[in-house]
Structure 1
């Protein structure tokens, strides 16, 4: 005979005992909804299991039977539908799921509850046989978020391993970077000029002198560049009226004004077409530039009628080409003499820049920050210029003042002038 203890009911069926417990919910007809589990060989074990389930229900850690049986593929559908990120982030997450996570668990017909620590490790091991460590780590990051969000409805705890470390400590490899010198930047700029003209020369020096991200430079248009900005600012956000008025008093063309660029957007491929997006982390910012760069940009914009400040060889956006492959690798690594339609006739040999050979374009941005740090500028001014959030009290109370900006302009200009003096002295 079965026994009822409050909301737990045990009963024998054949040679095994089954336990039922109240889930804490009611059916549409008003009756209590019960869950159950069978296969026990003694009534005491069945009863204790039911009591444990009631304890979990009271403390909010219970996973319902029907939820625990949710297939991983179904949960991935729900997780993707609930994403609320920027387009590029969503594209990255979706690619990791559709390319790696879903096929692996769909093949195994796994439920979310099936993914314990061992299953998690097995998937991680599988990825590392297919991908490079960085790519595998990115997929595991997405997988970890998917599992974390399944708690507590589908699983009690996440099997993601983050804090525990087994085996000997292995120091994370750090990218080797060499100090960025003005001479190296000048050689990069001259190489870029050989490949895509004055646009290339100005592009390299603008990145080195502003620390702008590649997508921000690719998407920079006339109205946000010196000498047109801020008078040509389309003012897309009427709530920033006060900022617009201050910009007109602070930046522009004139003896008392500072030349500057406005980082208002970036350009990236979304759904197979180029689109303007807010800058990374919504890091809208104004970047003062040294006088030599202001003169360089003014001359560049006067030399062409494109909307892009830095047009590609054929006049379009640099974002529309594979910049790293088509331009950057030759700029940094060098290239043999050649001729053809894309080289605008005969093109001389391009000499490698040793400190950037095999390195990323992004290191120009890193080098800019190093220059600012070397010159002893305010940490808040430096981080703000880089588009970073400054945490804590410093981020709340500090602001970038005119003297800070003028100091940045001065030291950057001095780097340029020092370079010119050294180049002149070599020539003589």
Structure 2
């Protein structure tokens, strides 16, 4: 005997009955695709199950039998294929998945729909025991995105447990930063000169005076740097024609225009080779530089024929070396002298800079923003210079004007002039 309703069928098969319901999909030949579940001992229970499934389909909450069998490893392939993020973000997500998430679930042959709260907690326990707290937090963040994106097609609800604050508010600890004076930057720059020549000295002052990100500095080439830019701009973006026409009237070498660096790219490794990528958040921008730095950049480019403004010790881009370990740590922490007949490249001892010992190079970028804030510059001009998107009405209506840029040049030059005067007075 078969009990029928619209798109629901109940039939006895031996000692139990089975319910079939329309999945809402069609076969290639136009026939309706049905799903089924057996093992019921009475028709009412089977029929009500079919009704529940049809209701889920209408609400968009139904997981088909076919989708419910998709293995986590297969879903990870689909998820990675659909990623559309910046290069470094995609590389980070892929690394987390291949090193932590995929091996765990592939070993257990786990279907996505079978990952419930208990399975989620078991994985979290495993990760917390296998890696450090910072890495574990990142792994769980990526897993959360993977599982959230599986709803509602592959699983009804995500098992991800969100952290909810209860009780008294506790402020997150913030990195304590020390004030960075021009004297400290000069110490770092002098150390960098000892370590890798004039390029090192100008590199440090360029970061302190522009706030450029390290990878942007590593990838800076002649055609985007003063004194050749904007005359040497490749002009390879048709949509930027207006900028190409206006830049020579505003920036460059001359009494009535401002020296500047154009941030158009950064360098990162991909597929084993160093490649150009857009700057972080596609923060293309023009950075005016104070007069003293313009002079240093001009002298530096005249002293070598590398395409890179700041070539590494062995030539090539600084992005091709582990700059933090091989360059920055000796510059900030100090290092003993290299001397003796067997030393290929002798070098005097480099003194430590106490306020930067053990600290990140990135803090020079932070110091640049602090200087601009101290000097009272427009918030929009400051955030634009840092490569940040300014939200709200201010971001829509504001723009960086010539007087704003001239004021930034002036206050940065005054910091340098003040430093030189103090050094003269002290006899340094």
What is the TM-score normalised by the length of structure 2?
0.94
* Residue 11 of structure 1 pairs with residue 8 of structure 2: no
What residue number does 2:155 align with? 155
Q: Distance in 2 between matches of 1:126 and 1:167?
A: 28
Aligned position for 2:267:
267
* 1:229-282 deviation digits (Å, cap 9, x = unpaired): 111111111221110111100011111111100001111111000111111111
Structure 1 residues 344 and 283, CA gap change in structure 2 (3 angstroms) = farther
Cα displacement (A) at 1:102? 0.5
Partner of 2:379: 379
Shift of the alpha carbon at 1:42? 4.2
- Structure 2: how far apart are the matches of 1:342 and 1:355? 34
Could you tell me which residue of structure 2 aligns to residue 411 of structure 1? 411
- Is the contact between residue 216 and residue 265 of structure 1 (CA under 8 Å) also seen in structure 2? yes
Partner of 2:118: 118
User: C-alpha distance in 1, partners of 2:343/2:388?
Assistant: 38
Q: How many residues align?
A: 428
TM-score (norm 1): 0.94
**Which residue does 1:21 correspond to in 2?**
21
Which shifted more, 154-163 or 71-80?
154-163
Structure 1 residues not aligned, in runs of 5+: none
State the 1:205 CA deviation: 0.6
Query: How has the CA–CA distance of structure 1 residues 72 and 168 changed in structure 2, closer, same or farther, with 3 Å as cutoff?
Result: farther
TM-aligned CA distance change 1:169 to 1:124, over 3 Å: farther
- Give the alignment of 1:211-222 within 5 angstroms: 211-222=211-222
CA distance in 2, matches of 1:56, 1:115: 20
For the aligned residues, what is the CA RMSD? 2.1
**Structure 1 stretch displaced more, 66-75 or 313-322:** 313-322
SS of the residue 1:23 aligns to? strand
Distance 1:356 1:153, change over 3 A: same
- Residues 273-324 of structure 1, C-alpha deviation per residue, up to 9 Å, x if partnerless? 0111111111110000011111111111111111111011112211111101
Describe the SS at the equivalent of 2:339: strand
Report the more deviating stretch, 135-144 or 376-385. 135-144
Q: Does 1:352 align with 2:352?
A: yes
Q: Which residue of 2 aligns with 1:337?
A: 337
Q: Please state whether the residue corresponding to 2:346 is helix, strand or coil.
A: strand
d(CA) in 1 for partners of 2:206, 2:270: 26
CA shift at 1:29, angstroms? 4.4
Q: Does 1:363 align with 2:358?
A: no
| Residues 71 and 112 in structure 1, CA contact (< 8 A), matched pair in contact too | yes
Q: Tell me what 2:393 maps to.
A: 393
Residue equivalent to 1:425: 425
Correspondences of 1:239-250 after superposition (within 5 Å)? 239-250=239-250
Q: Which residue of 1 aligns with 2:183?
A: 183
Q: Matches of 2:17 and 2:343 in 1, distance apart?
A: 81
Instruction: State the Cα deviation string for residues 312-354 of structure 1 (Å, max 9, x = none).
Output: 1112211111101100011111111223799863322211112
Mapped pair 1:92 → 2:92: yes
1:164, 1:21 → 2: CA distance?
Answer: 39
In structure 1, C-alpha distance between the alignment counterparts of 2:416 and 2:271, rounded to whole Å: 41
Unaligned runs of 5+ in 2: none
Q: Deviations over 1:65-101 (max 9, x none)?
A: 1001100011111112222333332222211111111
Structure 1 pair 115/340, CA: closer, same or farther in 2 (3 Å)? farther
Asked if 2 retains the 8 angstrom alpha-carbon contact of 1:195 and 1:343, the reply is: no
Q: CA deviation at 1:166?
A: 6.8
